Amino acid sequence: MKIGDKVRFLSEIGGGRVAGFQGKDIVLVEDEDGFQVPMRRSEVVVIGQENYDTSHVVELKAPTNLPTKGKAPTNLPQKGEAMYAEDSCASKASPFGGRLVGASERKGGEQLSAYLAFVPIDVKELTQTRFETYFVNDSNYYMHFTYMSAEGNSWRLRSTDEVEPNTKLFIEEFGREDLNGMERIAVQLLPYKREKPFLMKSPVDVQLRVDAVKFYKLHTFQENDFFEQPALLYTIIKDDTPVRSLVIDAQQLKQSMYGKDASNAESSSAATSPSRERQEGPSQIVVDLHADALLDTTQGMTASDILNYQLDVFRRTLKNYEKKKGTRIIFIHGKGEGVLRKALVNELQYRYKHYTYQDASFQEYGYGATQVTIK
């Protein structure tokens, strides 16, 4: 399919000529009135070539040299080979290059695994390239998902769709100018099977923090099983275990802090803090930013993920006390290599210039705490 080809729609009446492409999966079809309609490749066909390979649904032929009884097969497809359909949008080395048609379910696919993938369109021009977002379904279940980004305390729906088993689905294309609006993202998904019994799986609701800095570093994008080119993968669920949310749920944290009395703690200023803190005196708050004090486990989190989580607690704490002038907040960060302290100082120097800060009392907190005074 190329620009200028005359095409018709498969799922609805209409058609036109190909005016261009968006990413690898979207065709811009110009109708007779001059309007350009975005359509998926799988939903259009070139007129006169009705048997044109839609690049998405590929019938799979059964192997002709099946083994005789007692002999091991010699031509069983390996991961990423003939058992999986391939298309022009996917890696030839990927088991997710197209939809599985008429094939048996993948061994090991009964446990849910899904990923959000960010793929540079031109990894060789990383400073200028745009990026594509994909939903990767690495399981034998269908998944209906919603993909959202945070806007303040609200959420904006970016995409919702159904992904077939053992496939990936293009969601959107974006540039670095869009990254500020993608700092916090959420994915909700509902797994199920069609036309056969299946074990019920729990719905998944995961919030993730996207580090914009990663999109400027070449080593961020790694070789993987799903794409021919390097990609940045964020795990949504792995082997039936959803990834631990990297965004603080204030209500859950409050319950863990106050137990059954959480609902009665609204009147307490400490209850509004998104961290494990304690109040020492009427105008002094102590917040422990050590990872083991904030998180039950750091399994699956990188050092960068943990640092971002700690900084998020720091920012939210300052936000909660911004109207309480004169309040002193002690942030315990420890000595270590000083990475967290440097990050806090950087925030205070450039983002919170109106607050004053100093080393906290050496006698009480050693050399691993910083005091911030709300002005």
- State pLDDT tens for residues 109-151: 899 999 999 999 988 887 788 999 999 999 999 999 999 999 8
Give the amino acid at 76.
L
Burial zone of 189 (CB within 10 Å; 0-12 exposed, 13-18 middle, 19+ buried): buried
CA distance 42 to 39: 8
| DSSP type of residue 77 | P
Look at residue 338 and tell me if it is in a domain: yes
pLDDT for 227-267, tens place per residue? 988 999 999 999 999 887 554 444 544 454 455 444 444 43
CA distance 361 to 330: 9
Look at residue 129 and tell me if it is in a domain: yes
Q: How confident is the model at residue 279 (pLDDT cuts 50, 70, 90)?
A: low
Q: Are residues 151 and 236 in the same domain?
A: yes
Give the domain CATH number at 122.
2.60.40.1600
Q: How confident is the model at residue 11 (pLDDT cuts 50, 70, 90)?
A: low
CA distance 167 to 89: 12
- Per the prediction, the chain carries an average pLDDT of 76
Last residue of a domain, one of 219, 242, 265: 242
What pLDDT, on a 0 to 100 scale, did the predictor assign at position 113? 94
Q: Are strands 26-30 and 36-40 parallel, antiparallel or unpaired?
A: antiparallel
Look at residue 23 and tell me if it is in a domain: yes
Burial zone of 136 (CB within 10 Å; 0-12 exposed, 13-18 middle, 19+ buried): buried
What pLDDT, on a 0 to 100 scale, did the predictor assign at position 209? 86
| DSSP type of residue 34 | S
Q: For the full predicted model, state whether its pTM sits above 0.85.
A: no
pLDDT for 69-98, tens place per residue? 444 443 333 333 333 433 333 333 334 443
Q: Are residues 192 and 307 in the same domain?
A: no
Q: How confident is the model at residue 152 (pLDDT cuts 50, 70, 90)?
A: confident
CA distance 362 to 371: 11
CA distance 257 to 275: 9
Give the amino acid at 266.
E
Taken in order 338, 341, 343, 345, the sign of the CA dihedral is negative
Both tokens assigned to 303:
């050092």
Look at residue 81 and tell me if it is in a domain: no
CA distance 277 to 275: 6
Owner of token pair 């909700």: 188
Q: Are residues 23 and 123 in the same domain?
A: no
Given a cut of 60, whether residue 298 has pLDDT beyond it is: yes
Choice between 277 and 51, residue whose per-residue pLDDT is larger: 277
Structural domain of residue 220, as residue ranges? 114-242
Weakest-pLDDT range from 203-212, 281-290, 340-349 = 281-290
Q: Are 8 and 54 in contact, with CB atoms under 8 Å apart?
A: no
What pLDDT, on a 0 to 100 scale, did the predictor assign at position 66? 46
CA distance 109 to 137: 10
User: What DSSP string runs through 50-62?
Assistant: TT---SSB-PPPP
Given a cut of 90, whether residue 46 has pLDDT beyond it is: no
Q: Are residues 267 and 351 in the same domain?
A: yes
Given a cut of 70, whether residue 53 has pLDDT beyond it is: no
What pLDDT, on a 0 to 100 scale, did the predictor assign at position 157? 95
Q: Are residues 179 and 286 in the same domain?
A: no
Number of structural domains found in the chain? 3
